[in-house]
Structure 1
Amino acid sequence: MKVAQSLDGKVAIVTGGTNGIGEAVAREYIQQGAKVCILGRSEEKLNALQEEFKDNILTVKGDVTKYSSHQEAVQKTLKRFGKLDILVSNAGVFDGFVTLERLPEEHLDEAFSTIFDINVKGGLMAAKAAAEELKKTKGNIIFTVSNSGFYPNGGGPIYTASKHAIVGLIRELAYELAPEIRVNGVSPGGTITEITAISCLQDSVKKIDPETRKKNIASRNPLQIAQEASDHNGAYVLLASDNAKAITGTVIESDGGLGVRGMPGMTF
């Protein structure tokens, strides 16, 4: 007997789906019965995913800061799969924990524009391009936030500000697009991925070896885990499924319990 899959018959677009959390979510969605369009930049990785998943996937090479790329992804998804149920706005870049003091003056404008264009404007454009089709299916939008959308020291000031902006975007769109479209987010904590600081900040990043980074991440949350990308899949699947039909304007904090850290070192 075939076991029912929570996303059977659903169609999703995942931006930034060629690596890290986006790729993990795309793979899980396919496993759960969905058809997936990935919008990404790496032609090599897009081709590899297309070869691996065949008819279950559609890949589109594009730039999330360009509205035309989102339009293309939506149009090709409709042509290939006939509808759109889910948008996962996941594409994002990082500032490498570069603090205000270490931010290079000569790259301030470039760093701010690059991070906000991809992390915030890219999400807004994705939602705009997909909204009319999502209304038809009473679908949903899921944004990838970050623990830095709620707490300090999850990045530098530019990245942290961009993720706070996404939380605001989720709440506003959840209000505006109800009742037809649900809008939510997932806020991963420190996760072992290949994400690095944008190029103009690379020289200002404090270097740390992978093993130390992993230990540092685990030490910061109550569950003492350095998450892998796939550790967040359950939250993305839940929010995309009909099991979450009463949930909108919510961010699931998949971060090892950062909100209950308490006062470090305090015992009574």
Structure 2
Amino acid sequence: MKIIKILISLMISICAIPAKSQDLNAIVKITYNELPNPDKQLIADLQIAVTSFLNNKKWSEDRIQINEKIDCIFVLNLKSLESDNFTANVEIQSSRPVYGTTYNTILFHHLDRWEFKYSLNLPLDFNENSYTSQLTSLLAFYSYLIIGLDYDTYSQDGGSAYFKKAKNIKDLAINEIGWGIKDGKNNFNRYFMIENLIDERYKPIHSTLYLYHLKGMDIMSKDIDKARTVIFDALNELKTIHNLYPNSFTLFLFFEAKSNELVKIFGKATPTQKNKAYELLVQLNPYYKNKYEEILKTN
């Protein structure tokens, strides 16, 4: 999240290209400060191609209105570019609006390492039933994941079909760099990212996403006390996952998106609610223990 804010505020990327249609309202930014001799024409062409691919493809089966498009941002920080071989650290974030407010709540925030090929004016062909290229697989995988998470917040298990599509993309690309079960550290990789979301043992994450957002955040403007209670109950659902897999990548991703928001939500609660929320959050997500201590300090 910090990278995104810095890049946007300092304007050290190529200008964003506005979204046009379909399911996603994606902004693509590319930075190349670490490249000694960047091919700016190729990089600009890549940005146009990726933006068009994300925003012009019909990813879902639903008819989407303009104001229903899912806001997301892809920030590609190029680390190396040799001929048509790219290596990039890619920060991805998606959000959805909270009913009755102007606030957008973050659903997904992740930093990934991408390696892919792209040449000038290369068409980004894609077939969801066969592997075409590393770049289109990466873009399609995260598109389906983003849509699945968004749909999960509006209906129980609403994103299931899109998680399955993302899994299919992973399965087709399984022999390519970055898609295997052993890629990354501590099972923090694309393989487990999507496998966990379709695993019955992780089913509570879907209930949490639904309750937290539709039954919690979306009533915040009308009944903040009830909203806090629902959100606390939604977090309690995650104990099942934590008890089985305390170092779960799924829990890490959830709190990577929600930790700052949770500090704000419970920082204004009653002393009793603050203590309960703090204890639960530290149990589920000890990585951000220092951050959650702000809940107890806030008046």
Normalized against structure 2, the TM-score is what? 0.30
- Which structure would you say has the larger RCO, counting Cα contacts within 8 Å and 6 or more residues apart? 1
Normalized against structure 1, the TM-score is what? 0.33
Larger radius of gyration between Structure 1 and Structure 2: 2
